[in-house]
Amino acid sequence: MLDITPLIRVAAARRRKELASLDAAAAQERELLTLVARAKETRFGREHGFAAIRSVADFQTRVPLRTYEAMWSDYWQAAFPDFSGVSWPSKSRYLALSSGTTSGRTKYVPVTREMNRSNARAGFDLMAHHFGAKPRSRVFGGKSFMLGGSTVLTKEANGVYSGDLSGIAVKRMPLWARPYVFPKPERALMANWQEKVELLARTSLDENIHALTGTPGWVLILLDRVRTLRDARCEAGQPLYPKLELFVHGGVNFAPYRARFLKLFEDVDVDMREVYPASEGFIASADKGYGEGLRLNLDHGLFFEFIPLEELGSPNPRRHWIKTVEPGVNYALALSTCAGLFGYVLGDTVRFVETSPPRVLVTGRTSYMLSAFGEHLLGEQIESAVSTAAASIDADVTDYSVSAVFPDTARTRCGHVYVVEFAGPEPEQQRLARFADRLDETLRQLSNDYDVYRGHDARIALPSIRAVAPGTFAAWMKSRGKLGGQHKVPRIINDAELWKNLLAFVSANGA
């Protein structure tokens, strides 16, 4: 296998120079007007007067914000599965499946040729950032281990296939790139997650793995198995992958997992780099260190709008763009893309840490706010508090879910219950009590509303912690048919039936 690292290194340096001189506002307006021009003869373009749009303001006047549900019912449903000419001129050969709606209903998100190119450019920008931090990296001297979902695609019509985004990526992978990727496509096809992890863990032991990508929780399951297999081979002192240089992660907040990965990678110099991918487009990636924000991909065929979270759903919300955003504000993110999305409310919330260049932190989901009583806790605040509480008792949290509970015959006050899976033995009651106290203290510092409700009259009770055995959340996700791949453990559960399902599973399995 030819080591193409020197060629990539040169191209990456050139790209970093381009990014350093990029005018964010000019790039974004140019992207929007290009998208509008391409789509002006589609049904959506004609109905929204795309031919007359000359500026961002024109666009925002003519195109209202829409959720996936509205886009589906108003435009895509009748045309399914061939969306060509509806909101984008060319045919989408692939439809990415996602369960990102608030109802959990499956989404079919078009993936056009242009979007494939956009995703590829975003991937290259990630490598440019990596080489900027690790100029001596030989990441292309070995294989990239991509731990994704099943690559099986379903034929929806002639020339149109649906499936997991990782499956589409494998299908679209050029022949020259395949020798650099692990596993082989036939192994990536495996739908049984547990069998797949076992096989990949075993077969990866003797592979020359230089990069690893995946959702943190599922990667931890893989790496725990790799550690066990190495120990069984009398390789207890060896790193998991001796030549690993890059770990790419995304999809969930990394804070609860970071301490465990630092321990796992303590024997190798691994560049842990976060990305912000979505079925709708590759939005951002880390060009600096942990916690310093993710740099938006401004010239990849995406146009970003930012709606103050408290105004989302109002009749006339303010629609900011790169030129008008401010740091420190929680915004709902809306996209217009080269796959035919326009003014599309993604469902994520972000906060800018700086605007030149634009870098954001993902703070949660528009539907992932815990506010049953007016406490208004964002997902980011809860993630931070859980991480702080775990550190206070020298423990690592593998996964957790939280929901609001209401007064009943057994409970006199409303409050929050956290189902928490710790790595290793379950902490004793005294440490769990300290965990709850520190969690509460941190949330009071982060949220004025929560602090008020936990104040002198204590309308909300101290958080209740229910510890569960290692592997509980993976088993629960498996029972729901959502184990591995892009599936994520729901952090904040506002759906009463889903919460009831989790508690029933926990009780039935002795936790």
pLDDT value for 191:
67
What does the pLDDT read at residue 80?
95
Q: Between vectors from CA 313 to CA 310 and to CA 315, what angle results, nearest 5°?
A: 105
> Could you tell me whether strands 209-214 and 246-250 are parallel, antiparallel, or unpaired per DSSP bridges?
parallel
Q: Which CATH number fits domain 370-508: 3.30.300, 3.30.1490, 3.30.70, 3.30.450?
A: 3.30.300
Query: What integer is the mean pLDDT of 391-409?
Result: 86
* Overall average pLDDT of the 210-231 stretch: 91
Q: How many CB atoms lie within 10 A of CB 267?
A: 13
* Biggest CA pair distance of the chain: 70
pLDDT single digits (tens) 444-455: 998 877 887 787
Non-local CB neighbours of 436 within 8 Å, separated by 6+ positions: 389, 462, 463, 464, 465
Q: Mean pLDDT across the stretch 394-409?
A: 85
- Give the pLDDT score at 373: 75
74 token code pair: 């108003």
For residues 372 and 450, give the distance between their C-alpha atoms in angstroms, rounded to a whole number: 11
Per-residue model confidence (pLDDT) at position 2: 80
Residue 122 has pLDDT above 90, yes or no: yes
**What pLDDT score was predicted for residue 409?**
52
- Report the percent of the chain where pLDDT is more than 70: 94
Consecutive H or E run containing 398:
strand 397-405
Give the lowest-confidence range in 62-76, 102-116, 192-206. 102-116
Where in the sequence of the chain do the CATH 3.30.300 domains occur?
370-508
- pLDDT of amino acid 17: 97
**61-70, 104-113, 124-133, 137-146, range with the lowest pLDDT:** 104-113
Q: How far apart are CA 242 and CA 109, in angstroms?
A: 38
Pairing, β 330-337 against β 464-468: unpaired
Cα–Cα distances (Å) from 442 to 4, 374, 412, 436, in that order, read: 47, 18, 24, 10
Express each pLDDT in 56-95 by its tens digit.
Answer: 999 999 999 999 999 999 999 999 999 999 999 998 999 9
Coil, strand or helix at 29: helix
Alpha-helical runs (H) found in 65-112: 68-71
Only one residue has tokens 């793995």, namely: 209
66 DSSP assignment: B
Q: Where is average pLDDT lowest: 246-250, 329-333, 423-427?
A: 423-427
d(CA 418, CA 134): 39
Q: Residues 299-308: what's their mean pLDDT?
A: 97
Name the strand (E) or helix (H) holding 246: strand 246-250
What the block records as the tokens of 314 is 């109002």
Contact 93, 82 (CB under 8 A): no
Residue 170 has pLDDT above 80, yes or no: no
CB atoms within 10 A of CB 155: 11
Q: Are strands 358-365 and 344-355 parallel, antiparallel or unpaired?
A: antiparallel
- Which option is the CATH number for 1-367: 3.40.50.1220, 3.40.50.12780, 3.40.50.970, 3.40.50.300? 3.40.50.12780
- Taking the C-alpha atoms of residue 193 and residue 479, their distance in angstroms, rounded to an integer, is 12
Confidence of residue 307 (pLDDT cuts 50, 70, 90): very high
Is 433:427 a contact under the CB 8 Å cutoff? no
Give SS3 for 285.
Answer: strand
Q: Where in the chain is the domain with CATH 3.40.50.12780?
A: 1-367
pLDDT (tens digit, 9 = 90+) per residue, 43-63? Answer: 999 999 999 999 999 999 999
* pLDDT reading at 408 higher than 70: no
485: pLDDT strictly greater than 80: no
Q: What is the pLDDT of residue 295?
A: 98
The answer, yes or no, to whether the previous bond of 327 is cis (omega within 30 of 0) is no
Q: What average pLDDT is seen over the chain?
A: 89
Residue 367 pLDDT exceeds 70: no
Residue 166 has pLDDT above 90, yes or no: no
Q: Of 404 and 371, which is predicted with more confidence? A: 404
Q: Which residue has the higher pLDDT, 59 or 257?
A: 59
pLDDT in tens, 181-191: 998 877 776 76
d(Cα 153, Cα 171) in Å, to the nearest integer? 9
pTM across the whole model: 0.80
Per-residue pLDDT for 270 more than 80?
A: yes
pLDDT of residue 101: 40
Q: What's the rounded Cα separation, in Å, for the pair 357 and 377?
A: 28
pLDDT on residue 457: 61
Mean pLDDT of 3-10: 90
Residue 282 vs residue 483, higher pLDDT: 282
Whether 199 shows a pLDDT value over 80: the answer reads yes
Structure confidence at residue 103 (pLDDT): 41
Residue 102 has a pLDDT of: 40
